């Protein structure tokens, strides 16, 4: 399985964990909620859905809205199919959420992972954020070294482009630092008080680590019918 298809499968499972959806609804959510999927087609989505069904992670059900019920007799087309996450699919998605390997830090996969941080445990969030920061710090060091070697040979526009790229990475590192500090502060709040009591989270993902409204924001984010 390619890295791109793996990211798509992860995102589809995550969205269907929230609620069953038609293929059209899935594509819309992927386009609008996850920027990494802005440019992809049903020709990419439906093979992914078929694979997930074959693996037993999704099931296909006929649409149950009045529009779906009338689709076949009135238009001669099949009613829309609704995709639902199975118990095995939920278990598989939770296993994917717990993974913190190098793929979780890469540009596209990190964006998809971050979109589902609300469903991810705090310890896993911390490892992914710290891994992403480490990866970007390595990238930034290489960019600075490259610029120092070549800046005398670059024209003004190429030099400005390189500076812009470095500033973008620096901005994301600052954002990651803020998120990591917020996660640490949230984790400290979970530690037992001297009398032995401890605050309890109200969600399985232990939400509360993100900066609150008014805090410094993160970095700028870099119709067919279903059959």
Pairing relationship of beta strands 81-85 and 21-22 according to DSSP bridges: antiparallel
Q: Which residues of the chain have pLDDT under 50?
A: 1, 69-75, 194, 196-204, 207-208, 211-227
Sequence-distant (6+) residues with CB within 8 A of 176 are: 129, 132, 133, 136
Rg (CA), the chain: 22
Q: State residue 85 phi and psi, 5-degree precision.
A: -75, 135
pTM of the model: 0.73
> What's the pLDDT tens digit per position in 51-105?
999 999 999 998 765 555 444 444 455 568 999 999 999 999 999 999 999 888 8
Q: Residues for the chain: how many in total?
A: 227
Sequence-distant (6+) residues with CB within 8 A of 212 are: none
**Separation of alpha carbons 71 and 77, rounded Å:** 6
């Amino acid at each position: 399985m390619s890295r791109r298809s793996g990211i798509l499968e992860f995102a589809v499972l995550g969205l269907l964990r929230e609620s069953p959806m038609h293929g059209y609804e899935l594509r819309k959510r992927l386009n609008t909620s996850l920027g990494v999927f802005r440019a992809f087609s049903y020709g990419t989505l439906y093979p992914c859905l078929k694979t997930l069904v074959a693996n037993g992670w999704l099931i296909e059900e006929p649409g149950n809205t009045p529009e779906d019920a009338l689709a076949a007799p009135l238009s001669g087309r099949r009613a829309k199919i609704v995709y639902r996450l199975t118990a095995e699919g939920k278990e598989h998605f939770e296993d994917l959420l717990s993974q913190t390997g190098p793929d979780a830090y890469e540009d596209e996969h990190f964006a998809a992972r971050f979109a589902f941080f609300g469903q991810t445990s705090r310890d896993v969030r911390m490892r992914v954020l710290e891994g992403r920061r480490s990866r970007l710090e390595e990238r930034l060091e290489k960019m600075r070294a490259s610029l120092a070697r070549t800046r005398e040979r670059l024209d003004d526009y190429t030099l400005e482009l390189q500076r812009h790229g470095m500033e973008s990475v620096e901005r994301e590192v600052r954002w990651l630092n803020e998120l990591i500090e917020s996660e640490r502060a949230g984790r400290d709040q979970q530690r037992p008080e001297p009398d032995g009591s401890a605050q309890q989270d109200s969600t399985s993902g232990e939400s509360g680590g993100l900066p609150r409204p008014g805090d410094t924001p993160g970095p700028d984010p870099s119709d067919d019918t279903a059959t």
